């Protein structure tokens, strides 16, 4: 009898989880928000990961059930205002790691993961130690991923350059969280690290044209990390490219992210100082970043 009661109780807890998930998905669908976000928000409220919602018995007391419903309704209301789920749960996945994020820092996107793949591939063309600078590092997703994924395999000295004090707080949190060796330099890309030369520069500059129509969620992210200037958004990328010219050794590698329309503009900007210019596509098969080598 006891086992039967326990089974019924566990089944009831799972019914509550399913009920809350349906409630969340129905509400989010009114704003065309993906159903998976309801799972992420409920997992956050319950203190479990998304997969545990489906693969683990979650037991709640009566008071815990009431509190869970209240908290879930609160985070749903936040999401319906347009606030990104990553800001609500204070976390965003990128490659093999989770990064702490929040107001003041750009949320890392899966589209950028392909850029990291390409840089990791080309690192093997350099002898150890490799010096690498991540310009406009933000949350540190690129710099930390490279430091983490090369640990014990290749000697890579990583410097993360970031101007925003708000973003640096998240950058330093993530470096400490993942216990990687990344040096943080606060400064403007245009003049940071004067006199320094390196093998690799990675840049994910603001590149949206000023005034571009953007999804509601992007209004919550720092505009300085999104908009690259008037007309075609190339003002900021041009500054990052000029910095790369100054920082890179002859034969050094630049990898720079851009939007799907800027490939030819980036190539034209690179042409005077770079060779082997190649535009690469992201996971959605859109032109997303360009690599080039500093002329010898």
Which is more confidently placed, 17 or 294? 294
Q: Please give the mean pLDDT across all residues of the chain.
A: 92
Considering the domain architecture, whether residues 74 and 112 belong to the same structural domain is answered as: no
Considering the domain architecture, whether residues 236 and 277 belong to the same structural domain is answered as: yes
Distance CA 187, CA 30 (A): 42
Residues 120 and 146 sit within 8 Å (Cβ to Cβ): yes
Q: Is the pLDDT of residue 16 over 90?
A: no
Q: Is the pLDDT of residue 49 over 50?
A: yes
Considering the domain architecture, whether residues 260 and 163 belong to the same structural domain is answered as: yes
Considering the domain architecture, whether residues 173 and 258 belong to the same structural domain is answered as: yes
For the segment 87-104, the average pLDDT, to the nearest whole number, is 97
203-227 pLDDT tens trace: 999 999 999 999 999 999 999 999 9
Domain membership of residue 95 (yes or no) is: no
Helices 235-247 & 263-270 angle (0-180, nearest 10): 40
Domain membership of residue 248 (yes or no) is: yes
Domain membership of residue 175 (yes or no) is: yes
Q: Is the pLDDT of residue 9 over 50?
A: no
Supply the range of the domain harboring residue 53: 2-81
Q: Is the pLDDT of residue 6 over 50?
A: no
Q: Is the pLDDT of residue 172 over 80?
A: yes
Q: Is the pLDDT of residue 8 over 70?
A: no
Counting the structural domains of the chain, the total is: 2
Domain membership of residue 46 (yes or no) is: yes
Considering the domain architecture, whether residues 150 and 241 belong to the same structural domain is answered as: yes
131-159 pLDDT tens trace: 999 999 999 999 999 999 999 999 999 99
Domain membership of residue 98 (yes or no) is: no
**51: exposed, middle or buried (C-beta count within 10 Å: 0-12, 13-18, 19+)?**
exposed
pLDDT number for residue 31: 93
Q: Quick check: bond before 64 cis, omega within 30?
A: no
Q: Which of 158, 150, 49, 136 is nearest to 95 (CA)?
A: 150
Considering the domain architecture, whether residues 115 and 162 belong to the same structural domain is answered as: yes
Lowest mean pLDDT among 98-102, 124-128, 251-255, 279-283: 279-283
**136: exposed, middle or buried (C-beta count within 10 Å: 0-12, 13-18, 19+)?**
buried
Residue 255 belongs to domain with CATH number? 3.40.50.150
Considering the domain architecture, whether residues 120 and 206 belong to the same structural domain is answered as: yes
pLDDT number for residue 51: 82
Considering the domain architecture, whether residues 33 and 163 belong to the same structural domain is answered as: no
pLDDT exceeding 90 applies to what percent of the chain?
Answer: 84
Q: Is the pLDDT of residue 13 over 80?
A: no
Considering the domain architecture, whether residues 165 and 287 belong to the same structural domain is answered as: yes
pLDDT number for residue 56: 65
For the segment 48-63, the average pLDDT, to the nearest whole number, is 76
Lowest mean pLDDT among 50-59, 78-87, 182-191: 50-59
Domain membership of residue 147 (yes or no) is: yes
pLDDT exceeding 70 applies to what percent of the chain?
Answer: 93
Domain membership of residue 224 (yes or no) is: yes
Which is more confidently placed, 45 or 7? 45
Domain membership of residue 101 (yes or no) is: no
Considering the domain architecture, whether residues 131 and 259 belong to the same structural domain is answered as: yes
Q: What's the whole-model pTM score?
A: 0.91
Considering the domain architecture, whether residues 204 and 286 belong to the same structural domain is answered as: yes
Considering the domain architecture, whether residues 15 and 112 belong to the same structural domain is answered as: no
For the segment 256-277, the average pLDDT, to the nearest whole number, is 98
pLDDT band (50, 70, 90) for residue 64 = confident
């Amino acid at each position: 009898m006891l086992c039967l009661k326990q089974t019924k109780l566990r089944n009831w807890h799972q019914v509550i989880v399913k009920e809350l998930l349906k409630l969340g998905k129905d509400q989010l669908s009114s704003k065309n928000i993906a159903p998976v976000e309801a799972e992420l928000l409920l997992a956050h409220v319950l203190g479990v990961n998304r997969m545990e919602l489906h693969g683990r018995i979650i037991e709640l007391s009566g008071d815990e059930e009431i509190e869970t419903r209240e908290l879930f309704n609160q985070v749903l209301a936040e999401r319906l205002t347009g606030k990104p789920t990553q800001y609500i749960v204070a976390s965003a996945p990128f490659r093999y790691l989770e990064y702490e994020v929040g107001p003041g820092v750009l949320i890392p996107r899966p589209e950028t993961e392909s850029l990291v793949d390409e840089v990791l591939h080309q690192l093997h063309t350099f002898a150890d130690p490799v010096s690498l600078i991540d310009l406009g590092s933000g949350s540190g997703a690129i710099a930390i991923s490279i430091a983490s994924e090369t640990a014990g395999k290749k000697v890579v000295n990583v410097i993360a350059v970031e101007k925003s004090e708000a973003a640096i707080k998240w950058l330093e949190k993530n470096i400490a969280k993942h216990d990687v060796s990344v040096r943080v330099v606060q400064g403007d890309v245009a003049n940071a690290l004067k006199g320094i030369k390196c093998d690799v520069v990675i840049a994910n500059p603001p590149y949206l044209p000023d005034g571009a129509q953007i999804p509601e969620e992007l209004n919550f992210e720092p505009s300085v990390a999104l908009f690259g200037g008037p007309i075609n958004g190339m003002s900021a990328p041009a500054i990052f490219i000029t910095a790369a010219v100054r920082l890179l050794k002859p034969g050094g590698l630049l990898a720079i992210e851009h939007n799907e329309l800027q490939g030819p503009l980036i190539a034209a900007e690179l042409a005077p100082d770079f060779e082997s210019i190649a535009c690469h596509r992201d996971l959605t098969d859109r032109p997303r970043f360009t690599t080039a080598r500093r002329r010898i």
